[in-house]
Chain A
């Protein structure tokens, strides 16, 4: 796995791609905050923000498959809101077997939670799919994240792919030595891969060796950084200056977004 696979949509030329990363991060955060403040059942406001999101997706010219696949990753957690259908007291709408009653209020609350979640994840997807990750980190510094934290993020990102490959090599080595529980045709359904405790221990050894190799790699990295004049500050290429017009536009959009839940509370509650 390489960053190129992960960031293959980042090199687009759409309007959203070309926006300043700081402005994008700020507006996306405002959008997510605004969605979080939406009261349950204020459907027009959900519709409005949903339309806005869809418009941004269209403008960014992202493939629908990417959006759907990334959204699908969050679905397991969505299940945790489903019990609300039956546990919220209110007007009965449908009666299920075993005396469970789905209430109107339950439907409103569950749907609102699911919509809020989908909209926020959707916006985060657009943000990361159109912004190079290192620029994302630099924008966070511009928005107040401490310098040393950003430096750690940058190094982590650089080594992530190295160490993921390392982990994959470890797993491949284990698979080659039949440390996997798998029934194949040759072993006629009998599982290979030793006892459960043995498999757990082998995996623990992989984790231990990954950690030790990384510790030693970190020492070498530090030496290499010192050799190149490292004095405690990691110097990265600064982001291009943010024009006051762009800054004004971003702040205005963010404030406008935050007005939506306020209006929604007044109009539709």
Chain B
């Protein structure tokens, strides 16, 4: 029930280790900065505020509406959080949601968590912030300004995040770009419509009930000046680069594959870690078949010994339990 229906949480095993680690490092750096920013803006209030709002977005992902018989639209929440809390606080909130999904619900892997954080918390929020502020400026004073900006922000954040996800898979040699990119982009162009509609409805509601929250975001997270512009520029750059790279990559899957091979990204390429020790240094078992059989035997022994000891300890516990009961 609590598993999100968005096919964007990459499990472990799908990304190359070096790409995962690189994305982990970038996620940690950005998250650390966002944490400092919100801490400075909100002081000691930021712990309860971020904690409760993360839980709210997590719970909000349960909200859905039926589109036709079988399919439904869902809220993911990056754009809604960005519109209400500002970019830095939203990075924290979305990171908490994505991290708890991975840690507690196995929705997305732990090694792949860096990639998922970058896609959904960083890229999703930066693109939403760029789209929201730009379209607000563009549609100034139009009565449908809020609806349109909210929809654009919701749709674009989901769509661009899915492009990033597809490109990461293609770079890892897990899914060819000419299949991963159209598949991910196609599905999330539709999911994005649901997200955009719900975000627009939510912001209209907030405007009617608590107009101060929509007009004056600074009350919850004072993000004015240079830093906000940095997020805005970042969102613009991410949106442009990814939407340019993705079609190129999917029409030249060999090109991306080539990049992947050059950097040793491909799953079947040997990591540099293991090229340090050449083959002839290995003592002992040289014959591959002997080694295979040996590994099989060791495995069987491990499992049967554990099964036996667990069984006997359980029996022992049961009998002592009966004796004391």
Binding site for B on A (CB under 8 A): 1, 6, 14, 28-29, 32-33, 35-37, 39-41, 43-45, 47-48, 50-52, 54-55, 58-59, 61, 70, 73-74, 76-78, 80-81, 83-84, 87, 105, 108-109, 112-121, 124-125, 128, 133, 136, 146, 148-149, 151-160, 162-164, 166-168, 170-171, 179-182, 193, 196-197, 199-215, 217-218, 221-222, 225, 230-232, 234, 261-262, 265-269
Is there an interface contact between B268 and A267, defined as CB atoms closer than 8 Å? no
Q: Which residues of B contact A197 (CB under 8 A)?
A: 197
Q: Which residues of A contact B203 (CB under 8 A)?
A: 204, 208
Is there an interface contact between B268 and A81, defined as CB atoms closer than 8 Å? no
Q: Which residues of A contact B109 (CB under 8 A)?
A: 32, 117, 120-121, 124
Q: Which residues of B contact A158 (CB under 8 A)?
A: 51, 55
Is there an interface contact between B306 and A155, defined as CB atoms closer than 8 Å? no
- Interface code B4-21, partner A: CB below 8 Å = 1, 0 otherwise? 000101111110010010
> Once the chains are docked, how many angstroms separate the CA of A124 from the CA of B285?
32
Is there an interface contact between A152 and B194, defined as CB atoms closer than 8 Å? no
> Once the chains are docked, how many angstroms separate the CA of A179 from the CA of B201?
15
Which of B111, B169, B296 has the most chain A CB atoms inside 10 A of its CB?
Answer: B111
Is there an interface contact between B53 and A45, defined as CB atoms closer than 8 Å? no
Given contacts A210-B60, A213-B56, 19 further A-B contacts (CB under 8 A): A45-B295, A47-B299, A51-B299, A55-B302, A55-B306, A74-B106, A77-B10, A105-B268, A124-B110, A146-B32, A148-B35, A156-B100, A159-B52, A204-B200, A206-B63, A211-B53, A211-B80, A215-B49, A262-B274
Q: Interface stretch among B124-132, B175-183, B222-230?
A: B175-183
In whole Å, how far is B286's beta carbon from the nearest beta carbon of chain A?
Answer: 9
Is there an interface contact between B106 and A155, defined as CB atoms closer than 8 Å? no
Q: Which residues of A contact B202 (CB under 8 A)?
A: 204-205, 207-208, 211
In the complex with contacts A80-B175, A210-B59, A230-B44, A218-B198 CB distance below 8 A: no
Q: Which residues of B contact A171 (CB under 8 A)?
A: 62-63
Is there an interface contact between A156 and B51, defined as CB atoms closer than 8 Å? yes
Is there an interface contact between A204 and B66, defined as CB atoms closer than 8 Å? no
Is there an interface contact between B198 and A181, defined as CB atoms closer than 8 Å? no
Q: Which residues in window 176-192 of B have CB below 8 A to A?
A: 176, 179-180, 183
Q: Which residues of B contact A78 (CB under 8 A)?
A: 11
In whole Å, how far is B276's beta carbon from the nearest beta carbon of chain A?
Answer: 9
Determine which of A41, A84, A166, A179 lies in contact with B59 in the assembled complex, contact meaning CB atoms within 8 Å.
Answer: A166
Is there an interface contact between B10 and A120, defined as CB atoms closer than 8 Å? no
What residue of chain B has the Cβ atom nearest to residue A124's Cβ? B106
B260 within 8 A of A: no
Determine which of B194, B268, B294, B306 lies in contact with A200 in the assembled complex, contact meaning CB atoms within 8 Å.
Answer: B194
> Once the chains are docked, how many angstroms separate the CA of A224 from the CA of B221?
21
What residue of chain A has the Cβ atom nearest to residue B20's Cβ? A36
Q: Which residues of B contact A120 (CB under 8 A)?
A: 11-13, 109-111
> Once the chains are docked, how many angstroms separate the CA of A198 from the CA of B303?
57
Is there an interface contact between B13 and A58, defined as CB atoms closer than 8 Å? no
B30 within 8 A of A: no
> Once the chains are docked, how many angstroms separate the CA of A208 from the CA of B47?
22
Is there an interface contact between B201 and A193, defined as CB atoms closer than 8 Å? no
Is there an interface contact between B206 and A212, defined as CB atoms closer than 8 Å? yes
Determine which of B58, B75, B282, B303 lies in contact with A51 in the assembled complex, contact meaning CB atoms within 8 Å.
Answer: B303
In the complex with contacts A117-B12, A200-B194, A267-B288, A207-B80 CB distance below 8 A: yes
Determine which of B55, B282, B298 lies in contact with A159 in the assembled complex, contact meaning CB atoms within 8 Å.
Answer: B55
In whole Å, how far is A235's beta carbon from the nearest beta carbon of chain B?
Answer: 12
Q: Which residues of A contact B253 (CB under 8 A)?
A: 87
Is there an interface contact between A207 and B48, defined as CB atoms closer than 8 Å? no
> Once the chains are docked, how many angstroms separate the CA of A105 from the CA of B198?
44
Q: Which residues of B contact A225 (CB under 8 A)?
A: 48
Which of A119, A125, A154, A210 has the most chain B CB atoms inside 10 A of its CB?
Answer: A210
B92 within 8 A of A: yes
What residue of chain A has the Cβ atom nearest to residue B287's Cβ? A267
> Once the chains are docked, how many angstroms separate the CA of A35 from the CA of B160?
30
B204 within 8 A of A: yes
Is there an interface contact between B175 and A208, defined as CB atoms closer than 8 Å? no
Q: Which residues in window 77-111 of B have CB below 8 A to A?
A: 77, 80, 84, 92, 96, 99-100, 102-107, 109-111
What residue of chain A has the Cβ atom nearest to residue B301's Cβ? A51
B325 within 8 A of A: no
